[in-house]
Amino acid sequence: MTVNNERDLEGMKRAGRVVAQTLAVLKAAIEPGITPSDLDLLAGQVFEAHGALSAPRLEYAAPVNAFISVNDDIVHGLPTHRPLAAGDVVKIDVTPNVQGYIADAAITVAMPPVSLVVSRLLACGEAALAEAIKVARLGRPLNGIGQAIELEVRKRGFTLLRELQGHGVGRAIHEPPNVPNFFQPGLKQPLHEGLVLAVEPMVSSGRAWRTRTRRDGWTICTTDGGLAAHFEHTIMITRGAPLILTA
């Protein structure tokens, strides 16, 4: 989506606020014994309070309000009834449709006790997202985003899950352009003002960069059991620093 009027800007800001509030509520609720299904129900309550609907449910018939992925599950995890336990690595991916506008963001939460590897993994994912947002400037090439992510993940010694990528967002969940999380020489098109992107590095503590889909047809996991982290924001390109709509 390209935002070119105040109505669209306010619509995207409103969707971004619902994302941020939902993530905050779910993060605060995470404790041993709560289940991903409990978190999904809680997300639905937040959505209802703000007049929002689950965009994955509307567009793809996903049976969720929010995707909850645990440990080696990376993204699109269907909420289960298994209670969360000490040491679990929990990804929360929230994508509401708020009166026709869609924003998308994800966080990763590590339940204590947090190992050094998990602490470093989460720091890697957060840093990669921060570096990507830093270079997402008007006129710069699209492939600069993936290059920034790739360099940061490589520097920190973790594995970039290259089969998964960011995307345009706004009126639908997945819109052009695709935003690979690694450098692709051919993606030289300049970022233009108003362009809305979901930037989302996904990294693993394992060595395999390939992924697989579980039998439920939704949950994407690592192929070697490596723990995964996923961080995401929806941003809009401006004449200055990008506007982080889901902050």
User: Which tens digit of pLDDT belongs to each residue from 85-100?
Assistant: 999 999 999 999 999 9
Q: Is 240 exposed, middle or buried (CB count within 10 Å of its CB: 0-12, 13-18, 19+)?
A: exposed
In which band, very low, low, confident or very high, does the pLDDT at 102 lie, cut at 50, 70 and 90?
A: very high
Is 232 annotated in a binding site? The answer is yes
Give the contacts of 153 (CB within 8 A, at least 6 positions apart): 124, 128, 159, 160, 201, 203
Q: What is the pLDDT of residue 44?
A: 98
Is 104 annotated in a binding site? The answer is yes
Is 81 annotated in a binding site? The answer is no
Q: What is the pLDDT of residue 215?
A: 97
**199-238 pLDDT, tens digit each:** 999 999 999 999 999 999 999 999 999 999 999 999 999 9
Is 233 annotated in a binding site? The answer is no
**1-12 pLDDT, tens digit each:** 999 999 999 999
Determine the Cα–Cα distance for residues 110 and 113; give it in Å rounded to an integer.
8
Domains and CATH numbers, the chain: 6-244 (3.90.230.10)
Is 73 annotated in a binding site? The answer is no
**36-78 pLDDT, tens digit each:** 999 999 999 999 999 999 999 999 999 999 999 999 999 999 9
Q: Nearest 5°: CA angle at 221, between 143 and 84? A: 120
Q: What is the pLDDT of residue 68?
A: 98
Report pTM: 0.97
Q: What is the pLDDT of residue 41?
A: 98
DSSP run (H or E) holding 228: strand 228-230
Candidates 230, 217, 175, 243; CA nearest to 63 is: 217
Residue 12 in 3-state DSSP? helix
DSSP structure class, residue 102: E
- Residue 220 main-chain phi, psi, to 5 deg: -105, 130
Q: What is the pLDDT of residue 101?
A: 98
Q: What is the pLDDT of residue 201?
A: 98
Determine the Cα–Cα distance for residues 7 and 142; give it in Å rounded to an integer.
26
- Amino acid sitting at position 215: R
Candidates 141, 152, 135; CA nearest to 202 is: 152
Candidates 189, 192, 197; CA nearest to 238 is: 192
Q: Nearest 5°: CA angle at 243, between 5 and 124? A: 150
- Residue 24 main-chain phi, psi, to 5 deg: -65, -45
Q: What is the pLDDT of residue 106?
A: 99
**103-143 pLDDT, tens digit each:** 999 999 999 999 999 999 999 999 999 999 999 999 999 99
